[in-house]
Chain A
Amino acid sequence: MIRVVLPQHLRTLARVSGEVELDVPAPVTPTAVIDAIEARFPMLRGTIRDHVTRKRRAYVRYYAAQLDLSHDSPDTPLPDSVARGAEPFIVLGAMSGG
């Protein structure tokens, strides 16, 4: 199981609390994780990445294992600790005011 931490506003939209656990087929990449999130929570489509281009939204960040993976290719395998479920894949809104 892959553990995912969603930002508060997306947890509210998806009506979940705490971490989300997802079955994600190998290789576990950001693309595969977001595919699984959108399949389970269709209301989150378009909120993390663009519907059409499938690019990460500009103010959304991907963190895992104390690393900022936002600018890596979304098809790069995530750290083994995430793939094993030892650490979560974190989706969050970029820090800024407003």
Chain B
Amino acid sequence: MYEGDLEEEPRLSTIQVLVGTRKGAFILTSDAKRERWTVSAPLFAGWEVYHMKGSPADPRRLYASQSSAWFGQVVQRSSDGGATWEPVGNQLAYATEAGTHLWYDGTPKPWEFKRIWHLEPSHDDPDSVYAGAEDAALFHTRDGGHTWTELTGLRCHPTGPQWAPGAGGMCLHTIIVDRAHPGRMYTAISAAGAFRSDDSGKSWRPINRGLRSEQIPDPNAEVGHCVHHLAMHPARPEVLYMQKHWDVMRSDDAGESWHEVSGDLPTDFGFVIDVHAHEPDTIYVVPIKSDSEHFPPDGKLRVYRSKSGGSQWEPLTRGLPQSDCYVNVLRDAMAVDTLDPCGVYFGTTGGQVYASPDAGDHWLPIVRDLPPVLSIEVQVLP
């Protein structure tokens, strides 16, 4: 969820919030004060845009995942910061015999490609991008999206036949590349769990020790956990944060083990989790009432912030609706910018995008009436 390195940005910076929604994408633009925003016309109108993200290596290079139940998957690329776009390769085919995973009723079901949930451009090369798919698989392009190759070590892991979809589908929704440890990557899949590679995605192993999920037959199983999102601060890469279906979790050893840091949250169900750009112990979640009631408790939209890496949480409410609010905040719909003070952004299923220019102390809606928001990313452009 980070754009560029951690450094104070000049006041002349332009902020671009990249918003993926159920019916198109939008680019929200402001100066570094982050008070006045312009909202673009819809991009890819009528299509689901699960994710849109800029390349840290070249912020003018953007990628977007455009999909529809009718016409399938399209990958779009911009080389001018989103002003113009071109469709690139969309042949994301499983590289080996697909095999089976578990269906909701526990029966085997063949893998079937549905869409790309997340695009993760490389830190070093604007033509290199990882893509996380539903049904869960990891793809990679080295030529700016023209051709895609599956990294089969993940989908073909021996536990693959035990993976099952969460309510949103069997999606690979989180991809984190650890720049401090060359070759190390993390992914997360609903409902399989978190995985780590130390060889640039060739081989993977589950990293779910310490997770406990009462919704599966063995609550402590190696796989089967519905991990909703992972977050990492690049300056402290051994620490990972997780919003699981229920439970907010933390690992201090690069995923080897996890412990719960839900602490005094009003509910520990939720989807998003993110880390402050300059304070590795400051994290954000949006508690959601339950797995069937996907809205904030008591109709109050509250971001919770912990400055201690979890366990102790404070509600952030200024500028957020504190009555009659029944929206959800989906797993990829929160991001932070790299300015000082750090900006925090999230989007809702009600079509609102909120921004805080002061690390969560105050919030304002950038826009209130977009289609349901699926994802948020932020760029700081010089």
Residues of chain A at the chain B interface (Cβ within 8 Å) = 7-10, 13, 43, 45-48, 50-52, 57, 59-60, 93-94, 98
Contact = CB atoms under 8 A, between A and B. Distances in A.
Contacts of B87: 13, 43
B72 interface: yes
Contact of B72 (A7, A46, A94, A98): A46
Interface in B87-107: 87, 90-91, 93
B70 A93 contact: yes
B349 to A, nearest CB: 15
A9 B91 contact: no
B47 interface: yes
Given A13-B71, A13-B74, A45-B90, 16 more contacts: A7-B70, A7-B71, A9-B46, A9-B47, A9-B70, A45-B91, A46-B72, A46-B74, A47-B71, A47-B72, A51-B90, A51-B93, A57-B71, A57-B72, A93-B71, A94-B70
Nearest to B91: A51
Contacts of A13: 71, 74, 87
Contact of A9 (B68, B73, B93): B68
B69 interface: yes
11 contacts: A7-B70, A45-B91, A46-B91, A47-B72, A47-B74, A51-B91, A57-B71, A59-B70, A60-B70, A60-B71, A93-B71
The secondary-structure label for the interface of chain A is: loop
B270 to A, nearest CB: 26
A48 B93 CA distance: 16
Nearest to A41: B87
A43 B137 CA distance: 23
A46 B70 contact: no
Contacts of A7: 70-71
Interface string B327-347: 000000000000000000000
Contacts of B90: 45-47, 51
Contacts of B47: 9
Contacts of B72: 46-47, 50, 57
B92 to A, nearest CB: 9
Contacts of A51: 90-91, 93
B71 A52 contact: no
Contacts of A45: 90-91
A57 B90 CA distance: 14
Contacts of A10: 71
A23 to B, nearest CB: 24
